[in-house]
């Protein structure tokens, strides 16, 4: 008896007891969806961390102001007053700008920065140069482009010295950044145009506000203390009470720890749920298969009488239990993906569609079906033809 016939036989007999089949699969459904959510959350957290570190650099912190009170003077003073500060840069971002060169165009992320930004991120050039002091102070329309932008609009041409149009404003390309690559989440670090922050404010955004300042210190031991000192300094400089939350300083380490904590806790909880419900689901399958075997003793006898071998009966019942757990697995995977999506949506983490995790959990569900279905199937296959036929 070949595999398709076995599968057809299994599906037929399962569909004769639809309600029972569905109820039996619930354990597997919950187990598998937990596995999917667990793996997903783990990955998302990992990528979130990676992206944070990628955006800030090491030993870095991000200063943001609730009412956008930050000034150029703040950035300069932080550099001057705190010897432990290695780099500091004003950051002005716009997530989607149109970049045109000749008839080609692309959508990129714009960063208005100071030269320290490149150093903080240890981001070298492949050609050209960074900004000069004069270009910074005169808000010159010059741009350093990422590797993706170069590939997309210049293709084989040399970008340095040419003019690109960023949101209808012409900028002269002075440098090309080396490739950082993509994050697991699919975020392309190289799809950027980097310009002097002053030019970003005046030519692209249209106001003089400063979103954020990135600061990095020499050693990670100085982080906590520096965060406190900068906060204190900014509150004083802006004459704000010290208990106010006007200035928020987030360190990459904090983000990292938080993401790790959440993902670990969730993973442990879900691993617990997953293993318990997969076990319960497996026992449920074993139970229903045992019932099925004794209900169908006569059928087994008939099948043996017309030529079914031991292994035909064994595989018939095994395939039935695997089909049961496999279908439960598929439903569980869909449910898990939905729940995982909702979680990433709520906590604003990247949603990572992983074929591996889907395959792994599907195979796991099938393995549960084989493991818990083997005993009932063996019981069926070990029946003696004449005894099974006589069974009332």
Partner 1 sequence: MNIPIINIENLQKIYKISQEVSVHALKGVTLKVKRGEFVAIMGASGSGKSTFMNILGFLDTPTSGKYILDGIDGTSLNDNQKAEIRNRKIGFVFQGFNLLSRTPAIENVEMPLFYRGGFTHEEMKNRARKLLAMVGLSGREMHHPNELSGGEQQRVAIARALINDPAILLADEPTGNLDTKNTYEIMNVFTTLNKEYNITIIMVTHEPDVAAYADRKVVFKDGMIIDDSPIRKLKKSRK
Binding site for partner 1 (CB under 8 A): 1-2, 5, 9, 12, 16, 298-299, 301-312, 385-386, 389
Smallest gap from Cβ 389 to partner 1, in A, equals 7
Q: How far is CA 77 from the centre of its chain?
A: 37
Determine the Cα–Cα distance for residues 192 and 363; give it in Å rounded to an integer.
41
- Give the shortest CB-311-to-partner 1 separation in angstroms: 8
Name the minimum Å distance from CB 312 to partner 1: 6
Q: Which CB, 302 or 339, lies closer to partner 1?
A: 302
What is the token pair recorded at 371? 């493991």
Kindly state the smallest distance separating residue 370's Cβ from partner 1, in Å. Answer: 22
Minimum CB separation of residue 4 from partner 1 in Å reads: 8
Q: Rounded to 5 degrees, what are φ and ψ at 276? A: -65, -45
Q: Where are the beta strands (DSSP E) in 262-362?
A: none
For residues 80 and 390, which CB has a smaller minimum distance to partner 1 in the complex?
Answer: 390
In the chain, what are the helix, strand and coil shares in percent, each to the nearest 5? 60, 20, 25
Question: Of 248 and 311, which has the nearer Cβ to partner 1?
Answer: 311
Nearest distance from C-beta of residue 21 to partner 1, angstroms: 15
Contact predicate 215/88, CB 8 Å: yes
First to last CA, the chain: 27
The pairing of beta strand 169-177 with beta strand 142-145: parallel
Rounded to 5 degrees, φ, ψ at 114 are: -110, 170
- Nearer to partner 1 among residue 6 and residue 47 (C-beta): 6
- Pick between residue 5 and residue 98 the one whose CB is nearest to partner 1: 5
In 10 A of CB 70, how many CB atoms?
Answer: 21
Residue number, 7 or 165, with CB nearest to partner 1 = 7
Q: Copy the structure tokens of residue 319.
A: 């395939």
Sign for the CA dihedral angle at 339, 342, 346, 348 comes to positive
Q: Shortest gap between Cβ of 306 and partner 1 (angstroms)?
A: 5
Nearest-approach distance from CB 285 to partner 1, in angstroms: 22
Nearer CB in complex with partner 1: 206/307: 307
Q: Is the CB of 113 or the CB of 304 nearer to partner 1?
A: 304
Here the tokens at position 365 are 């569900």
**Closer of 8 and 347 to partner 1 (Cβ):** 8
Angle at CA of residue 249, ends 246 and 254, nearest 5°: 140
Question: CA nearest 381: which of 288, 318, 325, 295?
Answer: 318
User: Could you tell me the smallest distance in angstroms from the CB atom of residue 286 to partner 1?
Assistant: 24
Q: Using the minimum distance from each CB to partner 1, give the nearer residue, 236 or 311.
A: 311
Check if the beta carbon of residue 145 is closer than 8 Å to that of residue 164.
Answer: yes
Alpha-carbon span 53 to 73, nearest angstrom: 26
Q: List the one residue out of 31, 7, 78 whose CA is nearest residue 275.
A: 31
Instruction: From 369, 350, 302, 330, select the one nearest 46 (Cα to Cα).
Output: 350
- The nearest distance, CB 294 to partner 1, in angstroms, is 16
Query: Residue holding tokens 């293709």?
Result: 155
Secondary structure (3-state) at 196: strand
Q: Which of 169, 288, 214 is nearest to 62 (CA)?
A: 214
Tell the residue number behind the tokens 């149009």, with chain if given: 165
Give the nearer residue to partner 1 in terms of CB position, either 50 or 299.
299
């Amino acid at each position: 008896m070949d595999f398709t016939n076995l599968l057809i036989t299994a599906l037929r007999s399962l569909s004769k007891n639809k309600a029972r089949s569905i109820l039996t699969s619930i354990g597997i459904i919950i187990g598998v969806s937990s596995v999917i959510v667990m793996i997903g959350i783990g990955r998302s957290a990992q990528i979130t961390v990676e992206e944070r570190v990628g955006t800030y650099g090491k030993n870095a912190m991000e200063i943001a102001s609730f009412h956008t009170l930050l000034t150029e003077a703040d950035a300069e003073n932080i550099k001057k007053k705190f010897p432990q500060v290695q780099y500091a840069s004003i950051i002005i971002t716009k997530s989607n700008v149109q970049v045109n060169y000749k008839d080609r165009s692309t959508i990129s992320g714009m960063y208005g920065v100071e030269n320290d930004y490149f150093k903080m991120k240890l981001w070298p050039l492949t050609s050209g140069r960074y900004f000069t002091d004069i270009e910074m102070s005169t808000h010159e329309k010059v741009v350093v482009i990422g590797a993706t932008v170069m590939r997309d609009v210049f293709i084989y041409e040399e970008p340095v010295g040419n003019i690109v149009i960023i949101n209808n404003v012409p900028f002269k390309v002075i440098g090309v950044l080396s490739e950082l690559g993509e994050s697991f989440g699919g975020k392309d670090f190289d799809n950027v145009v980097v310009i002097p922050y002053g030019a970003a404010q005046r030519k692209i955004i249209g106001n003089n506000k400063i979103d954020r300042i990135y600061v990095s210190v020499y050693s990670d031991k100085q982080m906590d203390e520096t965060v406190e000192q900068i906060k204190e300094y900014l509150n004083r400089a802006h004459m704000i009470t010290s208990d106010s939350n006007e200035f928020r300083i987030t360190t990459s380490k904090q983000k990292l720890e938080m993401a790790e904590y959440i993902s670990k806790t969730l993973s442990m909880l879900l691993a617990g749920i997953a293993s318990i419900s997969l076990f319960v689901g497996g026992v449920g399958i074993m139970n229903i298969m045992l019932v099925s075997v004794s209900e169908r003793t006569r059928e087994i006898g008939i099948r043996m009488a017309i030529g079914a071998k031991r292994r035909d009966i064994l595989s018939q019942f095994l395939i039935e239990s695997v089909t049961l757990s496999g279908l439960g697995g598929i439903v569980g995977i869909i449910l898990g993906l939905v729940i995982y999506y909702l979680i990433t949506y709520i906590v604003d983490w990247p949603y990572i569609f992983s074929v591996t995790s889907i395959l792994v959990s599907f195979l796991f569900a099938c393995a549960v079906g084989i493991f818990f279905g083997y005993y009932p199937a063996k019981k069926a296959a070990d029946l003696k033809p004449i005894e099974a036929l006589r069974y009332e």
